[in-house]
Amino acid sequence: MSDSPLIEMKNLKKWFPIKSGMLSAVKSYVRAVDGVDLSVMKGETLGIVGESGCGKTTLGRVLLGLTPITEGSVEYNGIDIRMMKNRELRKKMQIVFQDPGGSMNPRMSVRSIVGEPLIINGMSDGAELTKIIGELLESVGLSKNLMTRFPHEFSGGQKQRIAVARALALNPEFILLDEPTSALDVSVQAQVLNLLEDIQEEKGLTFVFITHSLNVVHHISDRVAVMYLGNIVELSDTVELFENPAHPYTHALLSAIPEISVEDSDERIILSGDVPSPADPPSGCVFHTRCPIAKEGVCDVEIPTLSSISGDHLVACHFPVEPGKSLPIVN
């Protein structure tokens, strides 16, 4: 992993307007991503975790240029992605979607699916194209003889391998992995994760891995960013985050990881209330309405900044949990 950033997000916001009335006037906004400052280092795997609806996927789509930016910027190698041509951006940045079957045209053969990026960009055709597609399929553990088949003829794990082959077709530097293993069996998940690690090491790729599975993040990520209601609330090296979580929300997420031990299985931090609406986020710290250690007059008023508590361990909390300490547990 390099010390220089490949991607830098600065005060990144993506707000979706809520319209009403006959004239479709903007009534309010859904603050899906609300002021994110985050860097992705060259050659690393950055995991982004959080509950459903926290803004993970929207953040990923914005940093790829698939969804327009409301405010702030995304820089790729120091260049704002809005200044780059779409074709140039797609050659450098690719995505593997959560549902491999849903991201493929059922009427297209594997040859057409994997070869389409090369054809669109005028990089290959004919016999040379067939040769490249065969090599791509073999690089993800599939036989080149399968290229005449269609998506419905493959298992979920095989479809995801095809999706990875398609993402590699243009030889990108960066791949966004949007929950690529959530629809797969556990044994198949391990195969896909090992495949991704091998490809990253071989090609020197940079990954952002979006998931709600902390076990997967622990296995594959170099660093982890924890999102809550459109904000990054904690960012750290993976080992440090799992051993010394500092944000109360991170503690709650880690306590929800299933344990094999019977003694530990009922030790869960139960957060009070529901996740607030991103259309009407709470004042002050966005987590204070569910936080077991929030203090009135501080957490409900002042917005915490993402600050260092130890080296590269950053947390957005007025009262971060000290190493070795735990939150109240509700059985």
pLDDT confidence of residue 165: 94
Task: Report the residue count for the chain.
Answer: 331
Spatial distance between the Cα atoms of 197 and 25, rounded to a whole number of angstroms: 48
Q: Return the H-helix or E-strand segment holding 280.
A: none
Q: What pLDDT digit, counting tens, does each position of 80-93 carry?
A: 999 999 889 999 99
Nearest residue to 246 (alpha-carbon basis) of 132, 323, 300, 172: 323
Kindly state the DSSP code that residue 81 receives in the 8-state scheme: G
Structural domain boundaries of the chain?
A: 5-282+290-315
pLDDT of res. 331? 44
**Helices 110-120, 126-139: crossing angle, 10 deg rounding:** 120
Q: What does the alpha-carbon distance between residue 166 and residue 288 come to, in Å, rounded to a whole number?
A: 43
- For 273-303, how does the pLDDT look when each residue is reduced to its tens digit (9 = 90+)? 778 899 999 999 999 999 989 999 999 999 9
Report in angstroms the alpha-carbon separations of 223 from 45, 47, 74, 88, 118. Answer: 7, 6, 19, 28, 32
DSSP 311: T
Q: If you count DSSP H runs as helices and E runs as strands, how many of each does the chain have, helices first?
A: 9, 12
pLDDT at 270: 72
The hierarchical CATH code for the domain 5-282+290-315 is: 3.40.50.300
Residue found by looking up tokens 């707000």 in the block: 15
Provide the pLDDT for residue 190.
87
User: Residue 151 and residue 104: Cα distance in Å, rounded?
Assistant: 7
How many whole angstroms separate alpha carbon 53 and alpha carbon 275? 9
pLDDT of amino acid 305:
94
Q: Tell me the two tokens of residue 237.
A: 């090296």
- 178 and 168 in contact (C-beta within 8 Å)? no
Q: Which of 300, 279, 313 is nearest to 34 (CA)?
A: 279
Which mean pLDDT values do the consecutive 10-residue runs of the chain (331 residues) have?
87 94 85 96 95 92 95 96 92 90 91 93 87 94 94 92 94 94 82 91 95 89 96 96 94 81 60 84 93 92 94 94 73 44
- pLDDT value, residue 201: 92
C-alpha pair distances (Å), 291 with each of 34, 260, 303: 20, 27, 14
pLDDT at position 119 is 92
